[in-house]
A and B are shown apart, each in its own frame.
Chain A
Amino acid sequence: MKSSAETNISPLGWAAYASILSFGSLGAAWCLASYYFNVPDFVMPKPHLVGAALKTGWIDGLLWQHIAFTVEATLKGLAVGCGIGLIIGIIVAEIPALERIVFPIVIGIQSVPKVAVAPLIIVYFGFGIESKIFTVAVLSFFPIFIGTLRGMRATDADLLDLYRSFMSSRLHTVLHVRLPSAATYIFSAMQVAIVLGLIGCITSEFIASTQGLGFIIKSRAGELDIAVMFAAILTLSLFGTLGVAAVKMLERFVLFWDQQRK
């Protein structure tokens, strides 16, 4: 019963040993399966093969071109999608009549998998990077748009009254009151946008591409070259983690006042 209260401050050493144990036993099981029981490489690659694939991919540069493609497509798409989502979100939130109508619609279509337009986008934009950028933009637009709307809705009404009574201009109020109070919502929406953006990029690369990590994963699957697939997935996971970490750092940097409160 005491445990739940103490979990957060549980002795770190003990937990560290346990996680070493859990990862260690996973690794041991992997080695045992690969080297002792000789599980075929196309089912589960041997650890040294994944290591070799990572080396040829990262150090010898086999994956560089594909990493650059996926990163470029995702970043450009995120920039477009988040930028437009933010701007339209602000505009809609500023026009209450529009907001009342649009908000329920947007919430309603939240559960529609927007990734379904990926094949259509390829029809319009071709196999190149443009279709990936556009897919990422579409997928990242919605969370940012919703986050901005929600955040601007949540502005403290008393503060808005205060600014109104000082005859603050609309732009000034948006920039100094509504956006800052929406910032936490927008930053957490950005984390979602990164996850969805990566999904969009990979999906679009799966469907039709000649480059990118998604393309590598799919084409190597045809050759049962699982070691390279592992290397590509590890790379993707790394970028996803880095992206989310970058947003968190940016949030801490921009919302310095929120940190003090915490």
Chain B
Amino acid sequence: MNTWIERAQQLLIAVVLIIAWWAVIKIFDIPGYLLPSPYSVGNTLLKQAANPEMYQTIFSTLSSLLYGYLIGVSVAFVLGCLVVESKFAEALLLPAITALQSVPKIALAPFIFIWIGFGQPAVITLAALSAYFPVLVNTIAGLRSYDRDLEGLFQTLRLSQLSILMNVKIPAALPQIFAGLEIGLTFALIGTVVMEFMVGISGIGFVIQESANSADLPLNFASIVILAIIGISLSSVIRSLRRRVMFWETQRETARNQ
């Protein structure tokens, strides 16, 4: 019940904001090329909804994002496990990982052009690089956070290193891994959009950049709304995945929220 009231309040806020936006334009008589009206943005959104090219654009962005994200996340997860499980891998990889972490991944975009070329592979690469680091850092921190008191138990049960990893460490690391997955998604989205700004072939980022260049602000606003919808829906997918996988946390969380 409570959540429905909250939903209604949020909806009300959104309506109030849109009316305020419209009122500002009317009162100060702001021309459409400076700030498009909610009506023209909505109209553009409706027009784009019937535009097959827009679906291609969205598909292109989604596919680069998801390929990059999946590659970055899987490499990060495997490397994270390696670093935690093997002292040798830790000593060999961790210094390099820490050194590379401080490089702003976005700044690598022009290098990626030179090494990989213009096109979707470049976008995928930057998305993967951007998603990679938060997931790696959180995986390592999470895998180290299991209950140390259990070690005696492991010894008694003569558990293998692999079964400790699979049955104890990874479940214990899940909250942090999922937090990393969400941060990684945000950064992968940033990487995808920035790379699309620069590649200038296809994708939502390209449409945002092009519409800004040609001062087509309704299209610009509408594309940002579409991008926002993509971001919000993907992160809610991750959150519901988290609820599925970590079913034991859900009850505790609802108890805390009330």
Contacts and interface: CB of A to CB of B under 8 A. Distances in A.
Given A105-B13, A113-B193, A236 B215 contact: no
B102 A101 contact: no
A10 B94 CA distance: 14
Contacts of B231: 109, 111-113
A259 interface: no
B41 interface: no
A229 B111 CA distance: 8
Interface residues of B, number: 62
Most buried by A among B94, B110, B217: B110
B41 to A, nearest CB: 12
A6 B51 CA distance: 60
Interface in A185-219: 195, 198-199, 202-203, 206-207, 213-214, 217-218
Interface in A38-85: 42-43
Contacts of B13: 101-102, 105
B84 interface: yes
Contacts of B93: 22
Interface stretch (B42-50, B71-79, B182-190): B182-190
Interface residues of A, number: 61
Contacts of A116: 193, 204-205, 208, 223-224, 227
Nearest to B188: A113
A26 B84 CA distance: 22
Chain B binding site: helix, strand, loop or mixed by DSSP? helix
B234 A111 contact: yes
B242 interface: no
Nearest to B35: A124
B30 interface: no
B232 A112 contact: yes
Given A26-B96, A237-B102, A214 B107 contact: yes
B107 A221 contact: no
B246 interface: no
Interface string A94-128: 00000011101100111111011111101100000
B52 interface: no
In this complex, the member of A112, A224, A229 whose beta carbon has the largest number of chain B beta carbons within 10 angstroms is A112
B197 interface: yes
Contacts of B102: 237-238, 240-241, 244
B107 A21 contact: no
Given A18-B91, A109-B232, A217-B110, A195 B209 contact: no
A162 interface: no
Report the 7 A-B pairs with minimum CB-CB distance, sorted nearest first.
Answer: A18-B91, A119-B212, A221-B110, A111-B235, A19-B95, A113-B189, A111-B231
Interface of B: 6, 9-10, 13, 84, 87-88, 90-96, 102-104, 106-111, 113-115, 144, 148, 151, 154-155, 159, 161, 164, 182, 185-186, 189-190, 192-194, 197-198, 204-205, 208-209, 211-213, 215, 217, 220, 223-224, 227-228, 231-232, 234-235
19 contacts: A2-B151, A14-B91, A26-B96, A101-B13, A104-B10, A110-B186, A111-B234, A112-B189, A112-B232, A113-B189, A113-B193, A113-B231, A116-B227, A122-B212, A123-B215, A206-B109, A206-B110, A206-B197, A221-B113
